[in-house]
Amino acid sequence: MRTVQELWQQAALVVRSSLFIVIFFSYTCIHAVLCVVFTWPFSFQVRHRFVTFWVRFSLWCLAKICFLTYQVEGKENIPETPGVVLCKHESAWETLALHGIFQPQVWVLKRELLWVPFLGWGIAMLKPIAIDRNSVHQALIQIVRQGQDYLNRGIWVTIFPEGTRVMAGEKGRYLRGGALLAKQAGSYVLPVAHNAGDFWARRSLIKKPGTIRLVIGPPIKSKDRSTAEINALAEGWIEGTLKEIRNIDA
């Protein structure tokens, strides 16, 4: 049976999380409209910087309201030339954090997200690689073609290799789109692991207090490696690092 203190703590957690959600979505709607109205004549870089204000405000609110902060490890592994970021996808949090770390960048995402009112409008201004997940072959062609163009322009390409968010501690099948892009572009894959799902779980209202650890691994070069090998190395590093973050025995 829960004590009065435990019930109070749970109630406070729900209130703080609810307050954050209200502020987050309200500000997202406002910022998305401002982005569409005021930044459409400007370059991609200008639009990206404008969206960064939304990211910073959202993370600030998360820290002040929900007492959820984060730390980034492995920044020394980030090469000067942008490449392909492959990141674990457990939460909505990493979409915010990655935007602030790798600048400028585009995401590979399902095209349905662009149809979401307000949020989708703002995302569309950043010209993401919006794919149809029901057409795998066409999606791979689109990722490679558009991804190479962005890399050549000095823009990071961020991909969630499992294709969708998974629950903390779970693992989906690592798709080969990111590895294929790196191979075809003669670039590299930069693996990223984090434990955001422990604090901001998939489809959960609750935002638990604590410190998220995001770890950036060493770049995986594509030269003299097959697409399958690149993908396997990224998967091995990400999942292995997650076990270390969560103190899980291999």
pLDDT one digit per residue (tens) for the chain, 250 residues: 568 777 888 899 999 999 999 999 999 999 989 888 888 888 888 888 888 999 999 999 999 999 999 999 999 999 999 999 999 999 999 999 999 999 999 999 988 888 888 888 888 888 899 998 888 889 999 999 999 999 999 999 999 999 889 999 899 999 999 999 999 999 999 999 999 999 999 888 899 999 999 999 999 999 999 999 999 999 999 999 999 999 875 4
Question: In the numeric block, which tokens belong to residue 56?
Answer: 């910073």
Whole-number Å distance between alpha carbons of 1 and 114? 46
* pLDDT of amino acid 221: 96
| Biggest CA pair distance of the chain | 62
> So what CATH class is 4-245?
alpha beta
Question: Vertex 46, ends 44 and 48: CA angle to 5°?
Answer: 70
Q: b/e per residue, 60-78, with b = 16+ CB within 10 A? A: ebbeebbebebebebeeeb
* pLDDT of amino acid 76: 97
The answer to whether 179 touches 85, Cβ cutoff 8 Å, is: no
* pLDDT of amino acid 152: 96
Question: In the numeric block, which tokens belong to residue 199?
Answer: 């604090």
* pLDDT of amino acid 1: 58
Reference 142, options 153, 156, 131; nearest CA is: 131
pLDDT tens figures, 60-115: 999 999 999 999 999 999 999 999 999 999 999 999 999 999 999 999 998 888 88
